[in-house]
Amino acid sequence: MEKAMIDDATRDKLLRLASQYETAEFLRGDPSWFMHQVGSEADREAVAFLASCLSYGNRRQFMPRIQWLVERAGGRVDAWVRSGAFADDLPQGDGRCFYRLYTVGQMHAFLQAYQHIMLDYGSLGSYVLRCAHDGLSAVETICCVFMQEGQSAVVPHDARSACKRVCMFLRWMVRSGSPVDLGLWADFIDRRTLIMPLDTHVLSESRRLGLLQGGSATMAAARKLTHAMADIFPDDPLKGDFALFGYGINSGNI
Using 50, 70 and 90 to split pLDDT, how confident is the model at 253?
Answer: low
Identify the burial level of 96 via C-beta atoms within 10 angstroms of its C-beta, where 0-12 means exposed, 13-18 middle and 19 or more buried. exposed
Amino acid found at 239: K
- pLDDT, mean of residues 137-151: 96
| DSSP states along 21-32 | HSSGGGGTTSGG
Q: How far apart are the first and last CA of the chain?
A: 30
107-118 pLDDT, tens digit each: 999 999 999 999
Res 194 pLDDT > 80: yes
66-85 pLDDT, tens digit each: 999 999 999 999 999 999 99
Beta strand extents in the chain (DSSP E only)? 97-99, 102-103
Three-class secondary structure of residue 110 per DSSP: helix
Q: What is the pTM of this model?
A: 0.96
